[in-house]
Amino acid sequence: METLGTLEERRAAITEIRSAVAALCTSYDEDYWRRLDGEKGYPTAFVTEMTEAGFLTALIPESYGGSGLGLLEACAILEEISRRGAHAGACHAQMYVMGCVLRHGSEDQKQTYLPRIASGELRLQSFGVTEPTTGTDTTSLKTTARRDGEVYRINGQKVWISRVEHSDLMVLLARTTPREDCAKKTEGLSAFIVDLRDAIGKGLSVQPIDAMINHHACELFFEDLEVPAANLLGEEGKGFRVILDGMNAERILIASECIGDARYFLDKATDYAREREVFGRPIGANQGVQFPLARCYAEMEAASLMVERAALLFDEKQPCGAEANMAKMLAAEASWKMGDTAMQTHGGFAFSREYNIERKFRETRLYQIAPISTNLILSYLAEHVLGLPRSF
Helices 357-365 and 30-39 cross at an angle (nearest 10°) of 60
73 is catalytic: no
Does residue 203 contact residue 226 with C-beta atoms inside 8 Å?
yes
Report helix, strand and coil shares of the chain as percent, to nearest 5.
55, 15, 25
Phi-psi region of 85 (alpha: psi -120 to 50; beta: other; left: phi over 0): left
**CA-based nearest residue to 320, from 251, 387, 392, 238:** 251
Q: Please identify which of the residues 73, 79, 80, 250 carries the catalytic annotation.
A: 250
**CA-based nearest residue to 78, from 323, 283, 331:** 331
Give how far the C-alpha of residue 347 lies from the chain's centroid of Cα atoms, to the nearest Å. 30
371 preceded by a cis bond (ω within 30 of 0): yes
**Cα–Cα distance, 309 to 259 (Å, whole number):** 14
Pairing verdict, β 169-175 and 124-128: parallel
**Cα–Cα distance, 340 to 352 (Å, whole number):** 15
Give how far the C-alpha of residue 53 lies from the chain's centroid of Cα atoms, to the nearest Å. 20
Residues in CB range of 29: below 8 A, 6 or more apart: 85
Residues designated catalytic: 250
